[in-house]
Chains A and B, each alone.
Chain A
Amino acid sequence: MDMKKLWSAIGGMLLLLASASSVSGPSVLALSELKISGFMSAVGSISNNETSYSRTAQINDEIDFGRETMLGLQIDAKLMDKLIFTTQLLADRDPDNYSLQADWIFAKYTFNQVSSIKAGRIRSPVFMVSEFIEVGITYPWVRPPAEVYGLLPLNSVNGVEFRMNVPVLDSNLYLQGVMGNSELDTSLVSISGKSRISANKVLGVNALWSTDNHNFRIGYIISRLDIFDTALATLQNLFAAGDLSGTAPLLIEALRFEFITLGMDFSFGNISGMLEHVRRKVGEPINAKQYGSYLMLQYALGKYHPHITYAIADSIGFSSINADQKSVTVGVKYELSYSAVLKLDYLHIGSLKETPGFFLSAPTEKDSASIVSVALDLVF
Chain B
Amino acid sequence: MNNIEKNKLPLVLFLLCGVLFFSIDTAIADIAIIVHPDNIVDEVDTENLMRLYLGKRSQIAGVEFIPVDQTAYQPIREDFYKKVVNKSLAQAKAYWSRMVFSGKGAPPTSLEGAIEMKEWVSKTPLGVGYIDTREVDDSVKVVLVVK
* A interface list, Cβ under 8 A from B: 35, 37, 39, 72, 74, 76, 86, 88, 104, 106, 108, 113, 118, 122-123, 125, 129, 131-132, 134-135, 137-138, 167, 170, 172, 210, 212, 300, 303, 335, 337-339, 341, 379
Which residues of B in the span 52-104 have a Cβ within 8 Å of any Cβ on A?
Answer: 56-58, 72, 88-90, 92-94, 97-98, 100-104
Closest residue on chain B to residue A269 by CB atoms: B86
Residues of B with C-beta under 8 A to A106:
103
Task: Check B101–A135 contact: CB distance below 8 A.
Answer: yes
Known: A138-B94, A170-B51, A172-B56. 6 other contacts (CB 8 A): A39-B101, A72-B101, A88-B101, A125-B102, A132-B97, A338-B88
Residue of A nearest to B56 (CB): A172
From the candidates B50, B88, B97, B103, name the one contacting A135 in the complex (CB within 8 A).
B97
A172 and B57 CA atoms in complex are apart in Å by 9
* Residues of A contacting B104 in the complex (Cβ-Cβ under 8 angstroms): 131
Q: Is B106 an interface residue (CB 8 A)?
A: yes
1/0 contact trace for B100-113 toward A, CB 8 Å? 11111010000000
Interface readout for B101-133 with A: 1 if CB under 8 Å, 0 if not?
111101000000000000000000000000000
Residue in A closest to B95 when the chains form the complex, CB atoms? A138
Which residues from chain B contact A35 at a C-beta distance below 8 Å?
106
Q: Are A338 and B101 in contact (CB under 8 A)?
A: no
Instruction: Give Cα A167 to B98, complex, Å.
Output: 20
Give 6 nearest A-B pairs by CB, closest first.
A131-B102, A338-B89, A335-B90, A132-B101, A135-B101, A138-B98
Q: Do A86 and B103 have beta carbons less than 8 Å apart?
A: yes
Which of these, A39, A212, A338, contacts B90 with CB under 8 Å?
Answer: A338
User: Is B138's beta carbon under 8 Å from chain A?
Assistant: no
In the complex the two chains form, is B103's CB within 8 Å of A167's CB?
no
Q: Residue of A at shortest CB range from B100?
A: A37
Give min CB distance, B1 to chain A, whole Å: 42
Q: Contact between B102 and A339 (Cβ–Cβ < 8 Å)?
A: no
Q: Is the beta-carbon distance between A113 and B58 smaller than 8 angstroms?
A: yes
Q: Report whether B57 and A167 are in contact in the complex, using a CB–CB cutoff of 8 Å.
A: yes
**B101 near A37: Cβ-Cβ < 8 Å:** yes
Give how many B residues have a beta carbon under 8 Å from the other chain's beta carbons. 21
Residue among B72, B88, B89, B93 having the largest count of chain A Cβ atoms under 10 Å: B93
**Residue from A39, A104, A125, A303 in contact with B97 in the complex, judged by beta carbons closer than 8 Å:** A39
Decide if B98 touches A132 in the complex (CB within 8 Å): yes
Which among B47, B89, B101 is the interface contact of A74 at CB below 8 angstroms? B101
> Do A137 and B47 form a contact, CB below 8 Å, given A118-B103, A210-B56, A338-B89?
no
**Nearest opposing residue in chain A for B90, CB measure:** A335
Which residues from A are CB-within-8-Å of B98? 129, 131-132, 135, 138
Majority SS at the chain A contact face: strand
Asked if A132 and B56 make an inter-chain contact with CB atoms under 8 angstroms apart, the answer reads no
Separation in Å of the A278 CB from the closest CB of chain B? Answer: 19
CA distance A125 to B97 in the complex (A): 16
Chain A residues with CB under 8 Å of B47's CB are 170, 212
Residues of chain B within 8 A of A337, CB atoms compared: 90
- By beta carbon, the residue of chain A nearest B72 is A338
Other-chain contact of B51, A118, A134, A135, A212 (Cβ < 8 Å) = A212
Given contacts A113-B58, A131-B102, A212-B51, contact A138 B97 (CB under 8 A): yes
Distance of A108 Cα from B106 Cα, bound (Å): 14
Among residues of B, the one whose C-beta sits closest to the C-beta of A140 is: B94
Interface string of B13-43 (1 = CB under 8 A from A): 0000000000000000000000000000000
A-B contact pairs, 16 of them (CB 8 A): A39-B97, A86-B103, A106-B103, A113-B58, A123-B102, A132-B97, A132-B102, A135-B101, A170-B47, A170-B51, A210-B56, A212-B51, A337-B90, A338-B88, A339-B90, A339-B93
Within 8 Å by CB of B50, from A39, A113, A172, A212, lies A212
Contact residues in A for B92 (Cβ distance below 8 Å): 338
Across-interface contacts of A86 in B (CB, < 8 A): 103
Please measure, in the bound complex, the distance between the C-alpha atom of A123 and the C-alpha atom of B98, giving whole angstroms: 13
Residue in A86, A138, A212, A303 whose Cβ sees the most chain B Cβ within 10 Å: A138
Query: Considering the chains assembled together, what is the distance between the CA atoms of A106 and B50 in angstroms?
Result: 30
Nearest CB of A to B9, in Å: 31
Q: Which residues of B contact A138 (CB under 8 A)?
A: 94, 97-98, 101
Min CB–CB distance A311 → chain B (angstroms):
21
Alpha-carbon gap, A212 to B98, bound state (A): 16
Q: CB-nearest residue of chain B relative to A211?
A: B56
When distances are taken between beta carbons in the complex, the residues of chain B under 8 Å from A339 are: 72, 90, 93
